[in-house]
Amino acid sequence: MLATNVLETIGHTPLVRLKSFEPEDGAEIWIKLEGGNPTGSYKDRMAISVLGRALERGDVRPGDRIVEYTGGSTGTALAFVASVLGLKFTAVFSDAFSDSKRKAMEAFGAEVLVEGSDGGAITPELIQRMKKRALALAGEPGSYYADQFGSPDVRQGYEPMGQEIAADLDGGIDVLVSAVGTGAALMGMADALRKEGLEPHVIALEPLQSPLLTTGKGGPHRVEGVGVGFEPPFLDRSLLHDIRAIDQDLGFGMCRRLASEVGIFCGGSTGLNVVAAIELAREAGKGKRVVTIGCDNGSKYLGGHIYR
């Protein structure tokens, strides 16, 4: 493709069949590889939606500062889009997340403020501390809170993923499954599929080590970007057919299998997605299709525990 602006390269990612991972007599498993976006993550879709629409409305002007608390993928996407649109970006980050994500944000010109964690664990207390710091910064003059957990522009930004899935599979989708952080990606895809007249079973996932959605009690875990310790603000339970908790260690092991067996290089949330997709393919049976998401590129996690 030809592009006049790097932002035009966001989206239109491939949908790949995981045939070798499909259970005998089970459904087809398809994974949408979002690691091909400019920053290696589907968060690029959210960032262009939030910042582009904020500029269109006049909520921000070139030179203003965008603020968000982030585990890194959202922050890297916001830093990338902000750099192209002439905006500044400050991320409230933590040492609980991969240091390569901090470096990526800084490469795009972001200011990164690091909150300390308890031994590298992602906990509800840490997330709330990061949020409090970000909100304080966003209240300063010339600053704008990206609000990844509240802006309607976030959920709308993920609708193109659903549109692309519907087009690629010609409407043939029976189950849509994904781990959730804000819940916006899963719900945005489901929104788009419904607009196309499709009603797949929609399944949300969380780490077994922090089963807030399934048991009401969160906990420390190591799957970056999901299991945020509170109810995902965009998650519409009335549209869900199930919520499942997947062991993070199975997810990390799946990441290593995907890379070494089929060349798909990904992070922990994608590992959870594929573990669950295999379960659901077994349950759905032959002739059905299960679709999940390869959320980002594994290069973001080389400084962490998954690929050691």
Which sequence positions are flagged as catalytic? 43, 269
Distances from the Cα of 40 to the Cα of 16, 107, 303, angstroms: 16, 14, 16
Between CA 304 and CA 94 the distance in angstroms is: 13
User: In sequence order, what are the beta bridge partners of 290?
Assistant: 29, 175
Rg (CA), the chain: 18
Q: Kindly report the length of the chain.
A: 308
Helices 73-85, 99-107: axis angle to 10 degrees equals 0
Question: Which of 182, 180, 209 has the alpha carbon at shortest distance from 121?
Answer: 209
**Can you say how many angstroms the Cα of residue 155 is from the centroid of all Cα atoms in its chain?**
11
Between CA 129 and CA 229 the distance in angstroms is: 12
Count of beta carbons in the 10 Å neighbourhood of residue 197: 8
Between CA 232 and CA 211 the distance in angstroms is: 13
Going through 95-150 in order, the beta strands assigned E by DSSP cover 111-115, 143-145
Distances from the Cα of 296 to the Cα of 68, 124, 204, angstroms: 19, 23, 18
Angle, vertex CA 149, rays to CA 99 and CA 83, nearest 5? 55
For 205, the token pair is 């996932």
